[in-house]
Amino acid sequence: MGVIYALVVMAIVLGSLNFQNNLGLLFGFFMAAVGLVAMHRCWFNLLALEAQVRPGPPVFAGVPAQFEVTLRNARDGARYDLRVLGGLDGVRPIHLEARDQRSVTVGVASERRGLLPLPEVEIETRHPMHLFRAWSYAASRAACLIYPRPAPQAPPAIQDAGGSRRPARSGGEGAEDFVGPRAYRYGDSPRHLDWKALARERGLVVKQFGGDQGLEVWIDWSALVVSDAERRIALLTRQVLDAAGSSLRFGLRLPGVEIELGHGESHTQRCLMELALFRHANGQGDTDRRAA
């Protein structure tokens, strides 16, 4: 719009100069002066605006990550028409009275697990007459945790594969309740083999039975036989979610990381965080992000 305004002013000033019309000239200059002042007002509207970026709650990859941008006006005058670009609330402009603050939510598409940083937030204003656009990038170190995208479905996690590393327990895999199937491992009792599954050519599957202290599962990196690491993490994530959904106590084993058996919201989040931030040996995908 500024260009159009400038053209109108130019036309007025040129026309008035030519016809030696002083009043036209005066008004043309007034419009030009208003434009000039508007330019400074525009810039001043952003000057010393304080912006704070806070990451929102962790989300699974694919769901937009949310950041909360708080704009604070430490000045004794109001600020108008502030727009935080990329916001999920659209770019509805906000205004800040003197010493006021307000927040907008900015959504960013998340594609990969790990930490999604929001290195800069663009704040713009066209105050007061939409002639000029002042913008500013507020640098931030805020990063939103992105959990891995869970696989649609995953094989059930193994029960009691900890062996000696597990704390002693009294019951063990006994004759109690059936918990679920898992892959056969060396040393399993043949009595627990699921012969019907074998007959259906689903390989050696063992029927698991729950212990007396409630059900415990280990979600284990090495229990899955999938070559692609990211796929393996997706499966593990699904397993964690499944386990969290049921009333199981579960633990997580990743190369170099082990989370004790536990249950509850914070335990689930801890497991998901480890999965999100896990760097595997061949360093695919996630490494560059974590180094950043």
Partner 1 sequence: MRTVKATPIDEQPERRQTIALILITALGYLPLVRYLSWQITAFLGLVLGLRLVAVRWPEASPGRFALLALTAVGGLNCWYVYQGLPGRAGGAALFVTMLGLKLLELRTRRDHRMVAMLLGFLVLVHFLFDQSGALTVYLALVMFAAIMLLVDLNGGLGDPGWRVPFRLSVRLGLEALPIAIALFVLFPRLSAPLWSLGLERQTGVTGMSDRLRHGSISELVINGDLAFRVRFDGPAPPESRLYWRGLVLWSVGESGWSPGPEPRLAPASEGLESAGEWIDYELVLEPSRQRWVFALDLPVAHPTDTALSADFQIVADRPVVAVKRFRIRSALQYRTHDPPERLRQLALGLPANVTERMRDLVAGWQGGSTSDWEVVQAALDFFHREPFVYTLLPPRVGANPTDAFLFETRSGFCEHYASSFALLMRIAGIPSRVILGYLGGEMNRISGRYMVWQSDAHAWVEVLIEGRGWVRIDPTSAVAPERVDNRSAARLLGAGAPVQFRLDAEGIFGRAIRQVRDLADSLDAAWQDWVLEYAVEDQRSLLDRLGLGAQGDRALVVLMIATLGLVLGVILVTLMRSDRHLDRLERSYDLFCRRLSRIGLGRHAWEGPRDYGRRVVSARPDLTTPVSQILSVYIRGRYSGDSSLREDRRLAQLVRRFRPRTRRR
Interacting residues with partner 1 (CB under 8 A) = 1, 4-5, 8-9, 11-12, 15-34, 36-38, 40-41, 44, 47-48, 75-78, 80-83, 85-86, 90-95, 97, 108, 118-122, 125-130
Shortest spacing between CB 130 and partner 1, in angstroms = 4
Shortest spacing between CB 211 and partner 1, in angstroms = 50
**Of the two residues 19 and 178, which places its CB atom closer to partner 1 in the complex?**
19
Q: Which two tokens stand for residue 175?
A: 């004759």
Shortest spacing between CB 276 and partner 1, in angstroms = 21
How far apart are the C-alpha atoms of 66 and 55, rounded to whole Å? 6
Q: What is the 3-state secondary structure (H, E, C) of the chain?
A: CHHHHHHHHHHHHHHHHHHCCHHHHHHHHHHHHHHHHHHHHHHHHHCCCEEEEEECCCEECCCCEEEEEEEECCCCCCEEEEEECCECCCCCCEEECCCCEEEEEEEECCCCCEEEECCEEEEEECCCCCCCCEEEEEECCCEEEEECCCCCCCCCCECCCCHHHCCCCCCCCCCCCEEEEEECCCCCCHHHECHHHHHCCCCCEEEEECCCCCCEEEEEHHHCCCCCHHHHHHHHHHHHHHHHHCCCEEEEEECCEEEEEECCHHHHHHHHHHHHHCCCCCCCCHHHHHHC
Residue with token string 């997706």: 234
**Of the two residues 129 and 193, which places its CB atom closer to partner 1 in the complex?**
129
**Of the two residues 117 and 162, which places its CB atom closer to partner 1 in the complex?**
117
Shortest spacing between CB 81 and partner 1, in angstroms = 3
Return the closest-CA partner of residue 147 out of 286, 7, 2. 286
Residues linked to residue 103 through DSSP beta bridges, in sequence order: 70
**Of the two residues 121 and 248, which places its CB atom closer to partner 1 in the complex?**
121
How do beta strands 101-108 and 94-96 pair? unpaired
Q: Which two tokens stand for residue 224?
A: 């899955």
**Of the two residues 92 and 165, which places its CB atom closer to partner 1 in the complex?**
92
**Of the two residues 76 and 265, which places its CB atom closer to partner 1 in the complex?**
76
**Of the two residues 28 and 181, which places its CB atom closer to partner 1 in the complex?**
28
Shortest spacing between CB 112 and partner 1, in angstroms = 16
Shortest spacing between CB 233 and partner 1, in angstroms = 26
**Of the two residues 119 and 283, which places its CB atom closer to partner 1 in the complex?**
119
Shortest spacing between CB 91 and partner 1, in angstroms = 5
Shortest spacing between CB 291 and partner 1, in angstroms = 20
